Amino acid sequence: MKLEVEIISKECIKPSSPTPPNLKTYKLSLLDQVHLSIYIPVILFYPNQSTNQTVVDIISQRSHLLKQSLSENLTLFYPLAGKVKDELTIDCNDEGVFYLEGYSNCHLVDCIREPDVVSLQQLFPQAMTFQDPVEGDYVALIKVTSFACGGFAIGVLVCHMVADGTAFSAFLNGWAAIARKAPELVYPNFDAPSIFPQNDAFSKEAAKTTFSNAFKAGRCVIRRVVFDGSAVASLKAKATSSSVPNPTRVEVVSALLWKSIMTALKATSGVQKPNYLTHSVNFRRRADPQFTDSSMGNLFWGAGALCTAEETDLVYMVSKLREAIMKVNADFVKSLQGEGGFSNLCEVMKATAEELSSIESSFGMNFIAVSSWCNFGFYDIDFGWGKPMWVSSVGSSGDTESVFPTSLILMDTRSGDGVEAWVSLNKEEMNALAQDSELLAFASLDPSPLK
């Protein structure tokens, strides 16, 4: 059955207690300024596990509990109940999270047995775009869709200005903890803006211009490339070397996909160019002192690794990736803190831009963006009816315009030992990738999430 969702209600869920006057204005950090301000998307799918209630009763009770617990959680995560004021500020006015409820006659398993990227967009509270939010936009939007079987999906959009993937997960886990009356709640930390003070001299547009080729918008298609636990173990064994004796699952999957995408790009263009990969690195536990997982804001950095045409061996690419990731260390994080953080950040960005410009002017270059959401705890989000059966990070609809037409989002699999990669490429490149025998020896393309 084709997925169709009817909107049942629209409202704003406000914090259960008003935000104090001294917290009404939330200033973003320097790192919040640097990163893109688009909305981060996620959809959580939950089956109906009740055997002694009618679907009508289940939906009614769930609706009340989700709204009530969200309201309580927003008292803690108060910036998410506000509105965007400008590029530097959130107005914590308690206007609330935009909240939709929908209903589908479809059964949940029919919706995700062979998930369609375009149809899944109906489960978001608004259409996904890659435009920066403007004054008056909601910081967070939520849509809860109930299915005929009693299962449900929660589609959430949170503005990247206030949260990265780790912070996003903390917000959702905090909401779930209140809903299921967990003994320990999630308390957010909002210290980042004081540790990484913002600077109004920073120009996001200038930064985009500097890295214009990395942010070239283009049309892309999205496919899921899934590595199960045994495939990851085999990849680790293949990628182990004296330089990287303990490769992680994220490193080996990223490296293999990087290698395969390079092959696809060459096959479609006829030219082998250097490939520059930026890989998001959560530095909360790399800093000294460390940040908690519930520290809000954008506490990550894009580690850059360059691969030329001469070297595409998996071991080599894993070592290049590890080398880049290790540079995002405590000293690097410290250099971005305090009053000197802005000038140090500008130096880092300038040096990177000059290096890439030099290579690109000589050889041309392909850019690949990788964002890893592995180990973020999305499969732990339990509202009291069990953990999600699937978590989707789909952020655009099929053949669509994207600011990152060549990109990967890495997610955990439900078992926790695999990786589900959401790959964005143009149609010709994706067709070439789908024929890569080395990739297909380890991964499945678009398998059913029910398996």
Q: Do residues 246 and 186 share a domain?
A: no
Q: Do residues 371 and 289 share a domain?
A: yes
Smallest CA-to-CA distance from 169 within 374, 375, 378 is with 378
User: Is position 451 within any domain?
Assistant: no
Residues 6+ apart with CB under 8 A from 160: 35, 36, 37, 38, 39, 40, 298
45 touches 151 (CB < 8 A): yes
The single-letter code of the amino acid at 254 is S
Tell me the three state secondary structure of residue 438. Answer: helix
- Which residue do the tokens 């301000």 mark? 37
- Which residue do the tokens 């981060």 mark? 40
Q: Do residues 131 and 211 share a domain?
A: no
pLDDT at 102: 98
Q: Given 161, 178, 195, which residue is the final one in a domain?
A: 195
Q: Given 195, 219, 242, which residue is the final one in a domain?
A: 195
User: Is position 143 within any domain?
Assistant: yes
Distance CA 289, CA 300 (A): 15
Q: Do residues 111 and 240 share a domain?
A: no
CA 434: distance to chain centroid?
Answer: 24
Tell me the three state secondary structure of residue 344. Answer: helix
* Order of all β-strands in the sheet with 152-159: 6-13, 97-104, 140-147, 152-159, 39-46, 390-392
Distance CA 200, CA 210 (A): 18
Q: Do residues 187 and 238 share a domain?
A: no
Give the H or E element holding residue 111: helix 108-112
pLDDT at 36: 86
Q: Do residues 49 and 141 share a domain?
A: yes
Distance CA 33, CA 200 (A): 9
User: Is position 385 within any domain?
Assistant: yes
Q: Do residues 213 and 313 share a domain?
A: yes
Given the residues 380, 382, 417, 446, the one annotated as active site: 382
176 touches 381 (CB < 8 A): yes
pLDDT at 219: 78
Structure tokens at 312: 């595409």
C-alpha angle 450-235-418 in degrees, rounded to nearest 5: 25
pLDDT at 1: 74
Is residue 160 part of the annotated active site? The answer reads: yes
Tell me the three state secondary structure of residue 334. Answer: helix
Length of the chain: 451
Q: What is the pTM of this model?
A: 0.95
Residue ranges of the chain with pLDDT lower than 70? Answer: 206-218, 309, 395-404
Q: Is 270 left (phi over 0), alpha (psi -120 to 50) or beta?
A: left
- Which residue do the tokens 């010709």 mark? 428
Given the residues 32, 160, 228, 436, the one annotated as active site: 160
Identify the domain containing residue 409 by its residue range.
204-445
Q: Do residues 282 and 187 share a domain?
A: no
User: Is position 107 within any domain?
Assistant: yes
The single-letter code of the amino acid at 352 is T
The single-letter code of the amino acid at 228 is D
- Which residue do the tokens 């250099």 mark? 335
Q: Do residues 22 and 104 share a domain?
A: yes
Domain count, the chain: 2
Question: Peptide bond preceding 79: is omega within 30 degrees of 0, i.e. cis?
Answer: no
pLDDT at 400: 55
Distance CA 279, CA 214 (A): 13
Q: Do residues 229 and 164 share a domain?
A: no
User: Is position 450 within any domain?
Assistant: no
pLDDT at 415: 96
Is residue 382 part of the annotated active site? The answer reads: yes
Smallest CA-to-CA distance from 158 within 61, 70, 226 is with 70
CATH assignment at residue 70: 3.30.559.10
Strand stretches in 61-186, DSSP E: 83-86, 89-91, 97-104, 140-147, 152-159
Q: Given 150, 171, 195, which residue is the final one in a domain?
A: 195
3-state percent helix, strand, coil for the chain, nearest multiple of 5: 35, 25, 40
Q: Do residues 281 and 171 share a domain?
A: no
pLDDT digits (tens, 9 = 90+) for 317-332: 999 999 999 999 999 9
User: Is position 1 within any domain?
Assistant: no
pLDDT digits (tens, 9 = 90+) for 138-153: 999 999 999 999 999 9
288 touches 334 (CB < 8 A): yes
Round the CA-based radius of gyration of the chain to a whole number and report it: 22
Q: Do residues 113 and 88 share a domain?
A: yes
